[in-house]
Structure 1
């Protein structure tokens, strides 16, 4: 799956980008008709520890699935967002059957 990753207001290192690619590729096991995905990484300037925002948009035929998670680290955000997207893709697959 092609994953377009954009980091807003900072430069993401290659390890983080590889981690995101690896996790997003696992979604193809649950629904193989994923066209592409876009990922946005944002850091908000707040004193709160939950200042990292992970937003993912997945394009499937006829629809788009969007998930936005705010966490302490991007890795945690990726894991929770991928779990949420997995559930959405499984529901979509069940509806089509």
Structure 2
């Protein structure tokens, strides 16, 4: 799986990039059809503490999946986005199987 990580309005350190990459790679356990992933780590202009945004787009042949989560840290936002994608993958598999 090809993973592209983009940091917007800041420079992400290697530790954060490795964390995000590891979490996204774990999605392969739920679907072998994932071709690639594009991740955007953004800093929101808002002054509140929840200004870290993680957006993940998965390239899957039938229909791409997308999740966007906002939280206090990029790690928390990434965890929530990955959890949302796990649910989407499960729903997509059920729909395909006709369950």
Shorter-chain TM-score category? over 0.9
Q: Deviations over 1:18-70 (max 9, x none)?
A: 00111001111011100111000110232200111111101101211111111
Moved over 4 A (4+): none
Please give the root-mean-square deviation of Cα atoms over the aligned residues, in Å: 0.9
The CA deviation at 1:9 is 1.0
Aligned residues: 97
Could you list the runs of 5+ residues in structure 1 that have no partner in the other structure?
Answer: none
Q: Which residue of 1 aligns with 2:70?
A: 70
TM-score by length of 2: 0.93
Unpaired runs of 5+ residues, structure 2, are none
What SS does structure 2 have at the residue aligned with 1:88?
helix
Give the Cα separation in 1 of the matches to 2:90 and 2:31. 7
Question: Residues of 2 paired with 1:45 and 1:89: CA distance?
Answer: 31
Q: TM-score, normalised by structure 1?
A: 0.95
